[in-house]
Protein backbone atom coordinates (compact mmCIF):
# COMPACT_ATOMS: atom_id res chain seq x y z
CA UNK A 1 0.00 0.00 0.00
CA UNK A 2 1.40 3.38 -0.98
CA UNK A 3 0.48 6.68 0.62
CA UNK A 4 0.81 9.87 -1.37
CA UNK A 5 -0.03 12.32 1.42
CA UNK A 6 2.10 13.44 4.41
CA UNK A 7 2.50 10.69 6.98
CA UNK A 8 0.74 11.71 10.20
CA UNK A 9 0.60 8.19 11.58
CA UNK A 10 3.63 7.13 13.64
CA UNK A 11 3.42 3.64 12.13
CA UNK A 12 4.00 3.35 8.40
CA UNK A 13 3.98 -0.24 7.26
CA UNK A 14 3.13 -3.50 9.03
CA UNK A 15 2.32 -3.45 12.71
CA UNK A 16 5.33 -4.26 14.92
CA UNK A 17 5.62 -7.81 16.18
CA UNK A 18 3.36 -8.31 19.17
CA UNK A 19 5.17 -8.22 22.51
CA UNK A 20 4.26 -9.63 25.90
CA UNK A 21 3.44 -6.13 27.18
CA UNK A 22 1.46 -4.78 24.24
CA UNK A 23 -1.92 -5.02 25.98
CA UNK A 24 -0.53 -3.24 29.05
CA UNK A 25 0.88 -0.45 26.88
CA UNK A 26 -2.41 0.03 25.04
CA UNK A 27 -4.45 0.10 28.26
CA UNK A 28 -2.10 2.58 29.96
CA UNK A 29 -2.07 4.82 26.88
CA UNK A 30 -5.88 4.70 26.74
CA UNK A 31 -6.06 6.07 30.28
CA UNK A 32 -3.67 8.86 29.29
CA UNK A 33 -5.84 9.69 26.28
CA UNK A 34 -8.95 9.88 28.46
CA UNK A 35 -7.07 12.20 30.83
CA UNK A 36 -5.99 14.57 28.05
CA UNK A 37 -9.48 14.46 26.58
CA UNK A 38 -11.00 15.37 29.93
CA UNK A 39 -8.82 18.47 30.25
CA UNK A 40 -9.31 19.33 26.53
CA UNK A 41 -5.65 19.16 25.50
CA UNK A 42 -6.55 18.40 21.90
CA UNK A 43 -3.10 18.55 20.30
CA UNK A 44 -1.54 16.00 22.64
CA UNK A 45 -4.66 13.83 22.57
CA UNK A 46 -4.57 13.62 18.78
CA UNK A 47 -1.08 12.10 18.73
CA UNK A 48 -2.07 9.58 21.39
CA UNK A 49 -5.18 8.67 19.41
CA UNK A 50 -3.10 8.06 16.28
CA UNK A 51 -0.79 5.72 18.18
CA UNK A 52 -3.73 3.75 19.57
CA UNK A 53 -5.17 3.40 16.08
CA UNK A 54 -1.83 2.13 14.81
CA UNK A 55 -1.84 -0.72 17.35
CA UNK A 56 -5.09 -2.31 16.17
CA UNK A 57 -5.08 -5.91 15.02
CA UNK A 58 -6.59 -7.17 11.78
CA UNK A 59 -10.11 -7.49 13.22
CA UNK A 60 -10.14 -3.94 14.56
CA UNK A 61 -9.37 -4.73 18.18
CA UNK A 62 -6.18 -4.65 20.21
CA UNK A 63 -4.09 -7.19 22.11
CA UNK A 64 -6.62 -8.43 24.67
CA UNK A 65 -10.14 -7.86 25.96
CA UNK A 66 -9.38 -5.32 28.69
CA UNK A 67 -7.14 -3.05 26.64
CA UNK A 68 -9.61 -3.21 23.73
CA UNK A 69 -12.42 -1.96 25.95
CA UNK A 70 -10.28 0.83 27.40
CA UNK A 71 -8.90 1.91 24.02
CA UNK A 72 -12.35 1.96 22.44
CA UNK A 73 -13.69 4.00 25.33
CA UNK A 74 -10.82 6.48 25.03
CA UNK A 75 -11.26 6.87 21.27
CA UNK A 76 -15.00 7.42 21.66
CA UNK A 77 -14.29 10.12 24.25
CA UNK A 78 -11.85 11.74 21.85
CA UNK A 79 -14.37 11.62 19.00
CA UNK A 80 -16.95 13.33 21.22
CA UNK A 81 -14.41 16.05 22.00
CA UNK A 82 -13.64 16.62 18.30
CA UNK A 83 -17.15 15.94 17.04
CA UNK A 84 -18.13 19.59 16.89
CA UNK A 85 -15.65 20.06 14.03
CA UNK A 86 -17.63 17.74 11.76
CA UNK A 87 -21.21 18.75 11.04
CA UNK A 88 -21.87 16.23 8.28
CA UNK A 89 -19.97 13.01 7.58
CA UNK A 90 -19.44 12.42 3.87
CA UNK A 91 -16.37 10.39 2.92
CA UNK A 92 -15.67 8.47 -0.27
CA UNK A 93 -12.74 6.04 -0.44
CA UNK A 94 -11.70 4.47 -3.75
CA UNK A 95 -9.58 1.30 -3.75
CA UNK A 96 -7.63 0.34 -6.85
CA UNK A 97 -4.52 -1.70 -7.54
CA UNK A 98 -1.83 -1.38 -10.17
CA UNK A 99 -2.64 -4.90 -11.39
CA UNK A 100 -6.35 -4.19 -11.93
CA UNK A 101 -6.30 -0.52 -12.90
CA UNK A 102 -8.90 -1.06 -15.61
CA UNK A 103 -11.44 -2.61 -13.24
CA UNK A 104 -13.77 -0.48 -11.17
CA UNK A 105 -14.29 -1.63 -7.58
CA UNK A 106 -17.17 -0.46 -5.45
CA UNK A 107 -16.04 2.56 -3.40
CA UNK A 108 -16.46 2.87 0.36
CA UNK A 109 -18.94 5.62 1.22
CA UNK A 110 -19.29 6.80 4.82
CA UNK A 111 -22.18 9.04 5.84
CA UNK A 112 -24.01 9.89 9.05
CA UNK A 113 -26.35 6.95 8.44
CA UNK A 114 -23.68 4.22 8.23
CA UNK A 115 -21.00 5.84 10.39
CA UNK A 116 -20.65 2.93 12.84
CA UNK A 117 -20.88 0.13 10.28
CA UNK A 118 -17.78 -1.78 9.22
CA UNK A 119 -17.45 -1.91 5.45
CA UNK A 120 -15.33 -4.57 3.76
CA UNK A 121 -14.14 -4.67 0.16
CA UNK A 122 -12.35 -7.55 -1.53
CA UNK A 123 -9.87 -6.73 -4.28
CA UNK A 124 -8.89 -9.77 -6.32
CA UNK A 125 -5.58 -10.57 -8.01
CA UNK A 126 -3.59 -7.80 -6.36
CA UNK A 127 0.14 -7.47 -6.86
CA UNK A 128 2.22 -4.36 -7.01
CA UNK A 129 0.65 -1.28 -5.43
CA UNK A 130 -2.72 -0.78 -3.76
CA UNK A 131 -3.97 2.79 -4.02
CA UNK A 132 -6.28 4.20 -1.35
CA UNK A 133 -7.84 7.46 -2.53
CA UNK A 134 -10.07 9.14 0.05
CA UNK A 135 -11.73 12.53 0.12
CA UNK A 136 -14.60 14.24 1.90
CA UNK A 137 -15.39 15.39 5.43
CA UNK A 138 -14.82 13.23 8.51
CA UNK A 139 -12.50 10.60 10.00
CA UNK A 140 -12.03 7.05 8.71
CA UNK A 141 -9.80 4.12 9.65
CA UNK A 142 -8.59 1.98 6.75
CA UNK A 143 -7.07 -1.46 7.37
CA UNK A 144 -5.75 -4.00 4.90
CA UNK A 145 -5.82 -7.75 5.50
CA UNK A 146 -3.58 -9.94 3.35
CA UNK A 147 -2.82 -13.65 3.40
CA UNK A 148 -0.23 -15.97 1.94
CA UNK A 149 -0.10 -19.73 1.47
CA UNK A 150 2.87 -21.68 2.85
CA UNK A 151 4.00 -25.26 2.38
CA UNK A 152 6.15 -25.99 5.43
CA UNK A 153 5.50 -25.51 9.17
CA UNK A 154 8.61 -23.36 9.67
CA UNK A 155 7.15 -20.79 7.25
CA UNK A 156 4.02 -20.35 9.36
CA UNK A 157 3.89 -16.96 11.07
CA UNK A 158 3.69 -17.77 14.76
CA UNK A 159 3.02 -15.63 17.84
CA UNK A 160 5.74 -14.60 20.26
CA UNK A 161 4.85 -17.55 22.48
CA UNK A 162 2.78 -20.67 21.91
CA UNK A 163 -0.03 -20.68 24.43
CA UNK A 164 -1.22 -24.17 23.45
CA UNK A 165 0.37 -27.48 22.67
CA UNK A 166 -1.70 -29.39 20.17
CA UNK A 167 -1.36 -32.15 17.64
CA UNK A 168 -3.59 -33.30 14.79
CA UNK A 169 -2.94 -36.69 13.19
CA UNK A 170 -5.13 -37.74 10.23
CA UNK A 171 -5.55 -41.37 9.12
CA UNK A 172 -6.76 -42.09 5.58
CA UNK A 173 -8.87 -45.16 4.86
CA UNK A 174 -11.59 -46.48 2.58
CA UNK A 175 -11.77 -46.66 -1.18
CA UNK A 176 -9.82 -43.76 -2.71
CA UNK A 177 -9.28 -42.43 0.83
CA UNK A 178 -12.96 -41.56 1.17
CA UNK A 179 -12.68 -41.50 4.97
CA UNK A 180 -10.32 -39.49 7.17
CA UNK A 181 -10.10 -40.14 10.91
CA UNK A 182 -8.65 -37.24 12.89
CA UNK A 183 -6.96 -37.67 16.27
CA UNK A 184 -6.73 -34.32 18.07
CA UNK A 185 -4.89 -33.51 21.30
CA UNK A 186 -4.61 -30.07 22.90
CA UNK A 187 -3.13 -28.85 26.17
CA UNK A 188 -2.21 -25.61 27.95
CA UNK A 189 1.50 -24.88 27.75
CA UNK A 190 3.01 -25.32 31.26
CA UNK A 191 5.20 -22.26 30.66
CA UNK A 192 2.05 -20.14 30.76
CA UNK A 193 1.84 -20.65 34.52
CA UNK A 194 4.78 -18.26 34.85
CA UNK A 195 4.48 -16.34 31.59
CA UNK A 196 0.75 -15.58 31.70
CA UNK A 197 0.14 -16.22 35.40
CA UNK A 198 -2.57 -18.69 34.40
CA UNK A 199 -2.90 -22.39 35.13
CA UNK A 200 -5.50 -22.85 32.41
CA UNK A 201 -7.00 -21.05 29.45
CA UNK A 202 -10.37 -19.42 29.02
CA UNK A 203 -12.90 -20.60 26.46
CA UNK A 204 -10.83 -22.14 23.66
CA UNK A 205 -11.62 -22.50 19.96
CA UNK A 206 -10.04 -25.06 17.65
CA UNK A 207 -10.21 -24.65 13.87
CA UNK A 208 -9.16 -27.55 11.64
CA UNK A 209 -9.21 -27.22 7.87
CA UNK A 210 -10.36 -30.32 5.97
CA UNK A 211 -10.06 -31.21 2.27
CA UNK A 212 -12.57 -29.89 -0.24
CA UNK A 213 -15.49 -32.25 -0.70
CA UNK A 214 -15.18 -33.76 2.80
CA UNK A 215 -17.57 -33.13 5.65
CA UNK A 216 -18.21 -34.28 9.20
CA UNK A 217 -21.76 -35.53 9.62
CA UNK A 218 -23.87 -33.40 11.94
CA UNK A 219 -25.10 -36.43 13.84
CA UNK A 220 -21.49 -37.40 14.57
CA UNK A 221 -20.73 -33.94 15.93
CA UNK A 222 -23.85 -33.98 18.11
CA UNK A 223 -23.03 -37.46 19.40
CA UNK A 224 -19.50 -36.30 20.19
CA UNK A 225 -20.83 -33.44 22.31
CA UNK A 226 -23.73 -35.27 23.96
CA UNK A 227 -21.61 -38.25 24.94
CA UNK A 228 -19.92 -36.12 27.63
CA UNK A 229 -16.84 -38.32 27.31
CA UNK A 230 -14.61 -35.50 26.07
CA UNK A 231 -13.63 -33.20 28.88
CA UNK A 232 -14.77 -29.56 28.53
CA UNK A 233 -16.05 -29.97 24.96
CA UNK A 234 -18.98 -27.59 24.51
CA UNK A 235 -19.67 -27.13 20.78
CA UNK A 236 -18.74 -28.52 17.38
CA UNK A 237 -19.77 -27.22 13.98
CA UNK A 238 -19.14 -27.61 10.29
CA UNK A 239 -17.85 -24.52 8.55
CA UNK A 240 -16.98 -24.08 4.87
CA UNK A 241 -13.66 -25.86 4.45
CA UNK A 242 -13.11 -26.59 8.13
CA UNK A 243 -14.45 -28.00 11.40
CA UNK A 244 -14.63 -25.88 14.57
CA UNK A 245 -14.69 -27.00 18.19
CA UNK A 246 -15.23 -24.97 21.36
CA UNK A 247 -14.00 -26.02 24.80
CA UNK A 248 -14.83 -24.45 28.16
CA UNK A 249 -11.14 -24.34 29.05
CA UNK A 250 -7.86 -26.18 28.50
CA UNK A 251 -5.36 -27.00 31.24
CA UNK A 252 -1.98 -28.70 31.29
CA UNK A 253 -3.60 -32.15 31.11
CA UNK A 254 -4.10 -32.82 27.39
CA UNK A 255 -7.63 -33.22 26.04
CA UNK A 256 -7.80 -35.76 23.22
CA UNK A 257 -10.68 -36.72 20.97
CA UNK A 258 -11.39 -38.20 17.55
CA UNK A 259 -13.77 -37.39 14.73
CA UNK A 260 -14.30 -38.65 11.20
CA UNK A 261 -14.66 -36.74 7.93
CA UNK A 262 -16.20 -38.43 4.89
CA UNK A 263 -16.10 -37.54 1.23
CA UNK A 264 -19.43 -36.10 0.17
CA UNK A 265 -18.46 -34.66 -3.20
CA UNK A 266 -15.82 -35.86 -5.69
CA UNK A 267 -13.21 -33.16 -6.26
CA UNK A 268 -10.52 -33.30 -8.93
CA UNK A 269 -8.04 -30.87 -7.38
CA UNK A 270 -7.16 -31.57 -3.73
CA UNK A 271 -4.82 -29.38 -1.70
CA UNK A 272 -1.88 -30.88 0.12
CA UNK A 273 -1.50 -28.53 3.10
CA UNK A 274 -4.12 -27.55 5.68
CA UNK A 275 -4.09 -25.14 8.62
CA UNK A 276 -4.89 -25.96 12.22
CA UNK A 277 -5.31 -23.27 14.85
CA UNK A 278 -6.18 -23.06 18.55
CA UNK A 279 -6.80 -19.82 20.43
CA UNK A 280 -8.61 -18.35 23.41
CA UNK A 281 -12.01 -17.05 22.37
CA UNK A 282 -11.73 -13.83 24.38
CA UNK A 283 -7.94 -13.48 24.13
CA UNK A 284 -7.14 -14.46 20.51
CA UNK A 285 -3.54 -13.36 20.98
CA UNK A 286 -3.05 -16.49 23.11
CA UNK A 287 -2.91 -18.98 20.29
CA UNK A 288 -0.94 -21.51 18.32
CA UNK A 289 -1.14 -22.48 14.68
CA UNK A 290 0.47 -24.99 12.37
CA UNK A 291 -0.22 -27.01 9.24
CA UNK A 292 -0.61 -30.68 8.43
CA UNK A 293 -0.43 -32.39 5.07
CA UNK A 294 -2.33 -35.13 3.27
CA UNK A 295 0.27 -36.22 0.77
CA UNK A 296 -1.39 -39.51 -0.19
CA UNK A 297 -4.71 -37.81 -0.87
CA UNK A 298 -2.96 -35.10 -2.87
CA UNK A 299 -1.23 -37.73 -5.02
CA UNK A 300 -4.41 -39.69 -5.71
CA UNK A 301 -5.07 -40.16 -9.44
CA UNK A 302 -7.86 -41.59 -11.56
CA UNK A 303 -6.11 -44.93 -11.95
CA UNK A 304 -6.37 -45.79 -8.25
Strands (E), the chain: 90-97, 108-111, 130-137, 164-173, 179-188, 204-209, 214-215, 233-239, 242-247, 255-263, 273-280, 287-293
Count the neighbouring beta carbons within 10 Å of the beta carbon of residue 28: 13
Rounded distance between C-alpha atoms, residue 138 and residue 150, angstroms: 40
* pLDDT reported for residue 110: 87
Q: In the chain, where are the structural domains located?
A: 22-137, 153-298
Confidence of residue 59 (pLDDT cuts 50, 70, 90): low
- Single pTM value for the model: 0.66
pLDDT of residue 257: 92
Task: Give the mean model confidence (pLDDT) for residues 166-174.
Answer: 90
Mean pLDDT within 48-57 = 85
Mean pLDDT of 244-265: 92
Residue 6, pLDDT > 50, answer no
Torsion of CA 37, 40, 41, 46, to 10 degrees: 50
Q: Which fold has domain 153-298?
A: Immunoglobulin-like (2.60.40)
- CA angle centred on 28, ends 26 and 30, rounded to 5°: 65
Say which residues have a Cβ less than 8 Å from residue 165's Cβ, sequence separation at least 6.
186, 187, 188, 189, 254, 288
The confidence band for 184, taking pLDDT boundaries of 50, 70 and 90, is very high
Given a cut of 90, whether residue 205 has pLDDT beyond it is yes
pLDDT given for residue 240 in this prediction: 85
Residue 169 and residue 274 in contact, taking contact as beta carbons nearer than 8 Å: no
Determine the Cα–Cα distance for residues 129 and 147; give it in Å rounded to an integer: 16
Which pLDDT band holds residue 8 (cuts at 50, 70, 90)?
very low
Q: What is the dihedral of CA 277, 281, 283, 289, to 10 degrees?
A: 0
DSSP SS3 for 173? strand
Residue 91 phi, psi (nearest 5) = -120, 140
Length of the chain: 304
More confident residue, 87 or 221: 221
Q: Lay out the sheet containing 214-215: strands in order across.
A: 164-173, 179-188, 255-263, 214-215
Amino acid sequence: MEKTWPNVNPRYGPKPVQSDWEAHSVAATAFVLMTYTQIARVKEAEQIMLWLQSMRNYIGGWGASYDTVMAQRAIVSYSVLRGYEITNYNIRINLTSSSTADEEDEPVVITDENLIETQVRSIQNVWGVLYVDGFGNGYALVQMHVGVNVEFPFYVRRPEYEAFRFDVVPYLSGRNFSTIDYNVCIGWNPENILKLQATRSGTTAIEIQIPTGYRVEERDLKSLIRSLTIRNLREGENWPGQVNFLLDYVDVDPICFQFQAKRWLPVANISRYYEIKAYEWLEPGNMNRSIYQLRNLFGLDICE
